[in-house]
Every structure is written in C-alpha cells, then in structure tokens.
Chain A
C-alpha cells in the first residue's frame, strides 16, 4: 500500500528518531545489565543458569560427533605408538608395583597410628562423572559446561577433577547442566599448599593458560618443580587434591602449570563431600569404574 507523500515526509523522521532512541536504549540496557551483574550476582546468574540449561540438550548432541572424531584420532595415534607405549607402561608398572607395596605398608601403619591417636576420620566423598558439552574458554572467561546438574546431585561449590588433578569448581547449577569455573579463570582464587614446605598460598587465575601463586608468607621459599595441592582452607575444596607444579619463579610472579590439560577436557568428576551412598549416579557409560553407583573415593584421594 502506498503512503501519501506528505505522511511519509512527517513519519520518516519520527521513525528514524524512534529507531535511534531504541538503539540508545538498548546500549544503556546492556550497560545497566553489566552494573546489575556486578551488584546483584544472584539474579543475573539465575538468568544465565536458565539459558545454559535450555541450550544444554543441543550442546550435548552437537558435542558428541566431535568427541567421537577426537576419540578416533586418539585411537589412531595410540595404534601408532603401541609398541613404545607398551614398553613404557611395562617399565612404569614395575615402578608402580614397588610404590604399591610401599603404599600398602604405609596405609596399614597410618591406620594403626590413627586408631591409637583417635583421629576423627575424614568424610567419605562420592562423585558424579559428567561429560563436557561446552568449552567456553576464551579471553573473557574460562569455564566449561557439563551435562550433569541438580537432578544428578551436582551442587554449587563442588570441586571438579580429572584423573590428573583439579579442574575447577562448580559455580552454576541448572537442572541438567552445570558450569565449572576453571582454575585459570580470573574469578578463581584457590587456597593451596606448596609442597614440600607446606607453604600456604592463594592460586589466582588471570584468564591465561597458567594461574599464579599470590598471598604467600614473606619468608616463603618456592622453587620450580614444587607441587601444588589444595589446602582445604575456606572449605571450598577438599584438602590434598593435586593442582599443578610450579613452572616458573621470577619477576612475573610464581606461575603454576596445572596437571590437567584444560583445553582437552572430555569428562570431569564432580566430587561430592559427605553424601556418600545417597547419590543416584547418572547412567552414563564411561569406563568401568567411573559410572558405578555407590563408587566412592576417600576425601583427598579424588580418585587419583
């Protein structure tokens, strides 16, 4: 339908003005939202959780073929290195057998000593194994989304680990998905101990590949190669989880190389302290030991 000339002459500037007004309004709204996110985190995070939860099934489906391709590539590579791996593993097995006998002896000794001293036993921990369905790592934030949520027993604040060590902490829980803040994120501040001196420190992420140690006591002596474990202070993480190794000490601070390759996460275990046996673990087949209901690990062991 054709508009009369005079009408459009009047209407066009009004429409332009309205559009510009809407644009400015949206910019202001985005800015206001950032301010709100800074002040009232709960409201904004709830919106985020709903959004993630809604998209989780899509991500779950899309990430599967990519995982399959990756597994195939890994398998082909494994075939290529079969002979070398075998030799290396035999050697490692011999060494580990020695350690095993030592560990058994120490465990027995430890048990006896603990009984004599009436040590209060650490709480048992159970875990949920979840698949990583989104890797939102980038310059802006370092987190992953996993396909287990509140219905699987995941709760905010639980620690996420792999066999290699600590991954991060659950920060958002939807009904079927949860977000794990990686230890490299700028918001991640983890109380740790630096072995062998048992020096307390806070490991802080900076959205870079390696976190740094901060808040060390002035007299602390940290050298390259020292191992970093969670201290369990502040009650967020169970104590004794392997985190990483001190990679550099110098002008730029003390840099920690995490044991876990955070860019290649496929499955993470979410540790649930003190709820052993109550949890209904999800039916997700991943390796024989991981998915068994009722499987539990000692606190601090983290299944490593």
Chain B
C-alpha cells in the first residue's frame, strides 16, 4: 500500500529530527551559563550528535548536513569558518569507514570509540588552529574541552537513543 501524503510528511519530519536536534545543540552550546570556569570550555555537543547519528542512522545524517552543521557551529562560536565543518566531516568519515565495527556493539564500545575519534578530532582541531593562526595554539583548553565532551557523551547518547526508540524505530 502506498503511504498517504500525511504519512509521508510524518516520516519526512521524523527523518529531519537528527539534523534538527544537532542544530539545536549548536545553539544550546553557546547559551551563556554563567558557571565560572566551566563556561569557557564547554563540551562540543554537536560532535556527539554527529558521531551518534552517523553510527545509528547514517542516512539521516548525510555529509552535506554535517557540513552545514559545522558551518553553523563556526558561525556562532566565532571559530575560523570551515574549521568545525572539516572536523565534523572527518569524524563522520571515520565512523562510516568503521561502520561495520560499530554496528551492534555495546554502549561502552561506542563510548570508547568516541574517546578515540574525539581525540583525533581534538588533535586535528589543534593542528588546524595552529596552522590558521600560524602559532602553536594553547593545547590545554582543547584537551580540557575534549575531556568534557567525552564526559558528556553518555548523557547525550542516552537522550538520542530514547529519541531513536520513540521516533525513528522503523528506519
């Protein structure tokens, strides 16, 4: 039976949610929290989203969307334009390359995988920033940000998995 117009619209809307959620995270990431100290090295939340959806629903997180999410992140955070686009694409590339490995693995394997991929992303961003500013960029802040991002992974992976269960189960 061919799905009706409303069914297709419903599916289409559900399919948009991974990218939409990631864009929301980009915005949430820059909302001032006024927490002393922590506010200056917040986790890179969209990175978690890109990683998670690239494993679980890769067709709903296509490369052009990742590129745009990265640009949006750069635009809002004031980082050099293209930096996060490149980092997010690299993370997605690695995940898709190792997709068979990640499929059906436990949460802890995913977390460990994120730890490794995130470290690569942190190293890449350090290298790119150092090249961009033609100086050895302060590594501490990036390292701390990496730790925060890895620490935030379980919470957001949990939220995404609930979302996936609720809205994207059939895909």
- Please tell me if the beta carbons of A207 and B138 are within 8 angstroms of each other in the complex: yes
- Is A132's beta carbon under 8 Å from chain B? yes
Q: Which of A26, A58, A66, A134 meets B34, CB within 8 Å?
A: A66
Q: How many A-B residue pairs have CB under 8 A?
A: 162
Contacts of A175 in B (CB 8 A): none
Given A62-B28, A66-B31, A263-B37: A136 and B67 interface contact (C-beta under 8 Å)? no
Closest to A265 in B: B32
* A34→B83 CA distance, assembly (Å): 7
Contacts of A55 in B (CB 8 A): 27, 76
- Please tell me if the beta carbons of B85 and A30 are within 8 angstroms of each other in the complex: yes
- Please tell me if the beta carbons of B76 and A138 are within 8 angstroms of each other in the complex: no
Chain A residues with a Cβ closer than 8 Å to the other chain, count:
55
User: Smallest Cβ distance from A68 to chain B, in angstroms?
Assistant: 11
- Please tell me if the beta carbons of A263 and B35 are within 8 angstroms of each other in the complex: yes
Binds A, one of B6-14, B38-46, B101-109: B38-46
- Please tell me if the beta carbons of B40 and A263 are within 8 angstroms of each other in the complex: yes
Within 8 A of B (CB), among A93-147: 132-145
- Is B5's beta carbon under 8 Å from chain A? no
* A33→B128 CA distance, assembly (Å): 13
Closest to B142 in A: A139
Contacts of A52 in B (CB 8 A): 75-76
Q: Which of A27, A48, A145, A181 meets B30, CB within 8 Å?
A: A145
- Please tell me if the beta carbons of A66 and B81 are within 8 angstroms of each other in the complex: no
- Please tell me if the beta carbons of A207 and B33 are within 8 angstroms of each other in the complex: no
- Is B137's beta carbon under 8 Å from chain A? yes
- Please tell me if the beta carbons of B78 and A179 are within 8 angstroms of each other in the complex: yes
Contacts of A144 in B (CB 8 A): 32
- Please tell me if the beta carbons of A33 and B85 are within 8 angstroms of each other in the complex: yes
- Please tell me if the beta carbons of A208 and B34 are within 8 angstroms of each other in the complex: no
Q: Which of A23, A47, A209 meets B40, CB within 8 Å?
A: A209
Chain B residues with a Cβ closer than 8 Å to the other chain, count:
51
Given A44-B81, A59-B27: A139 and B41 interface contact (C-beta under 8 Å)? yes
* A135→B28 CA distance, assembly (Å): 10
* A208→B34 CA distance, assembly (Å): 17
Within 8 A of B (CB), among A131-165: 132-145
Q: Which of B34, B78, B135 meets A141, CB within 8 Å?
A: B78
- Please tell me if the beta carbons of A141 and B79 are within 8 angstroms of each other in the complex: yes
- Is A206's beta carbon under 8 Å from chain B? yes
Given A37-B81, A140-B129, A143-B78: A135 and B86 interface contact (C-beta under 8 Å)? no
Q: Which of B40, B85, B89 meets A142, CB within 8 Å?
A: B40
Within 8 A of A (CB), among B115-171: 125, 128-129, 132-133, 135, 137-138, 140-142, 144-145
Q: Which of A133, A139, A208 meets B32, CB within 8 Å?
A: A133
Interchain residue pairs A-B with the least CB separation, the first 6: A33-B82, A51-B75, A135-B32, A139-B141, A140-B79, A30-B85
